[in-house]
Structure 1
Amino acid sequence: MDVLVVGAGEIGRWVADTVSADDAPIDASVAFTDRDPTVAADAAADRDARTVDADGDTSHDAVCLAVPMSAVPAAVAAYAPRAERAIVDVSGEMTDAVAAMREHAPDLERASYHPLFAPPRVPGNVAVVVDEAGPTVESLSAAVEAGGNDVFETTADEHDEAMETVQAGAHAAVLAWRLAGEDVREEFHTPVSAALDDVADTVTEGSPAVYAEIQRAFDGADEVAEAAAAIAAADDGAFADLYERARGDREGRDRLE
């Protein structure tokens, strides 16, 4: 299988390594393309891969878009003609991605994958919406699973709604805690604050552009701000109610109204 990986960043390189791994259940060759040819060349140099022109007309069995979420619809339109069997993406947003693939690749196998981890922390969970099944998508999913990942199916709506909590909301809460806090001696940290400090270090080790894309793509930050304001303004009774809701009962899983 000849796979064109569009976008030669960390996730694109993870895709290439995954589909071409020695224990992968497919025999895949990889080509990289990127808006920055030097990035594509760097990715290919470290692997048994080649580069192709971003504006070229090469054809490939499968095209995998590893580009920023906001760039997916345009990338689908640009690269769908270069896919012979399947087009997939690994951007992290599914509603617009699936819609674009349906529009521009109606005759191809289509799937949207979301690795729920940064590549340095593989393996992990990988969400997938299979919009048009077929042997190529099945082989790609099998390769991801062979890498030790847990691939689970979802819908675009379910996935994007979940991202409001697990990405946009979580990142906003962690960044706000870090921004609002003061430096303290290590001895003052509690188990809770120490854990938060570790999580904040993890969030801030990446690219701000990636996290900004997430905030633009998904709601969630406003709800975190509203919850923090409610906690700050609560009297003892209201705080106890909020605390019990946060404890984990069914009502506590609902957002504040």
Structure 2
Amino acid sequence: MDVLIVGAGAMGTWFGDAVDADVAFADVDPAAATAAADAVGGEAVSLEDETTADVVCIAVPLSRADEAIADHASRARAAIIDVSGAMADPLAAMARHAPDLERASLHPLFAPERAPGSIAVVRENTGPTTAAVLEALEARGNELVETTPEEHDEAMETVQSATHAAVLSFALAAEPVPEGFETPIYEELRAIARRVTAGTPRVYADIQETFDGAEAVADAARELADADHDEFEALYAEAARKLHEEADQQ
């Protein structure tokens, strides 16, 4: 099996290394395609040439996924897959531009350097080629989490958009404190904020643009800020209740 990966960033490079296939990379930055190919033992090809492959994997930023699918679906002989991070819109684009091909949307729920991990999966028009790709990912120690486009994208409003907004809001609001004044909760949250802010700003902006969630965080923060003593206690109790109910359901 051979795979053409459109997008030679961290996620495209991860995918090229994780699948059991001959891989080629195409990117708007030819140097990035060459670097990814060198990293996984593949080859770099031009976005404009006529290269085709059994599988085309779309590994571009969220905001460019639909356009990339439209431009490169015709290069797939058997299957088209995306790892952009959203599901409803990319799957709709794949259905429009590759109705006869096997189709799947994958969302690795981890940074590439932390692989293996959980991968959300939606299969459409499934067949042996996508099955082989997913088997290869499982063989590398990843756990496949079958879902639907709607379930996934709704979950990302909390898992990504609201979570990132809360962490970044803390980072923006926090002032330096004297050494020795740290509490365990503060230290943990500061460590998370440092981890988040070590990423790529565009990736986080794309997530906020794609998924709702930040407004809910802003509304909750304002409600807490405006609450009197009794109202704050009630909000605290409501937060605890929600988390306990969630834990009981798992």
> In 2, distance between residues paired with 1:114 and 1:186?
40
> Which has the higher mean CA deviation after the structures are superposed, 96-105 or 123-132?
123-132
2:101 aligned residue: 108
Q: Following the alignment from structure 1 to structure 2, what is the Cα–Cα distance between the partners of residues 191 and 123?
A: 29
1:172 aligns to what?
A: 165
Q: Which runs of 4+ in 1 moved over 2 A?
A: 248-253
Give the aligned partner of residue 139 of structure 2: 146
Task: For 2:146, give the aligned amino acid.
Answer: E
1:30: which partner in 2? 23
8 Å contact from structure 1 (residues 65, 88) kept in 2:
yes
What is the match of residue 14 of structure 2?
Answer: 14
Which secondary structure state, in structure 1, belongs to the residue aligned with residue 3 of structure 2? strand
Post-superposition offset of 1:122: 1.2
SS at match of 2:40: coil
Q: How far apart are residue 251 of structure 1 and its match?
A: 9.9
- Contact 1:94–1:160, Cα closer than 8 Å, also in 2: yes
> Which sections of structure 2, spanning at least 5 residues, go unmatched?
none
Q: What displacement does 1:52 show?
A: 1.4
Q: Which amino acid aligns with 2:220?
A: A
AA of the residue aligned to 1:4 = L
Q: 1:249 to 1:204 in 2, by over 3 A?
A: closer
Per the alignment, residue 2 of structure 1 pairs with 2
How far apart, in 1, do the equivalents of 2:96 and 2:39 lie? Answer: 35
Select which of 201, 212, 221 maps to 1:208: 201
Q: RMSD over aligned Cα, in angstroms?
A: 1.4
Question: CA contact under 8 A between 2:161 and 2:214: conserved in structure 1?
Answer: yes
Q: How far, CA to CA, are the matches of 1:91 and 1:46 in structure 2?
A: 21
CA distance in 2, matches of 1:249, 1:62: 43
- Partner AA of 2:96 in structure 1: E
Gaps of 5+ in 1: 21-27
Match of 1:134 among 127, 131, 134: 127
Q: Which of 47, 53, 60 is the equivalent residue of 2:46? A: 53
- Alpha carbons 1:244, 1:252 under 8 Å: kept: no
Q: Structure 1 CA distance, aligned partners of 2:232 and 2:244?
A: 15
* CA deviation profile, 1:33-66 (whole Å, cap 9, x unmatched): 0011111011112232111110111110000010
Q: Distance in 1 between matches of 2:141 and 2:241?
A: 31
Q: In percent, how many aligned pairs have the same letter? A: 52
2:137 maps to a residue whose letter is V
Task: State the Cα distance separating 1:219 from its structure 2 match.
Answer: 0.5
Question: What is the CA distance between 1:250 and its match in structure 2?
Answer: 7.7
- How far 1:187 sits from its partner (Å)? 1.5
**Alignment-mate amino acid for residue 12 of structure 2:** G
Number of corresponding residues = 246
Say which SS state the counterpart of residue 188 (structure 1) adopts.
Answer: coil
Stretch moving more, 215-224 or 244-253: 244-253
TM-superposed deviation, 1:236? 2.3
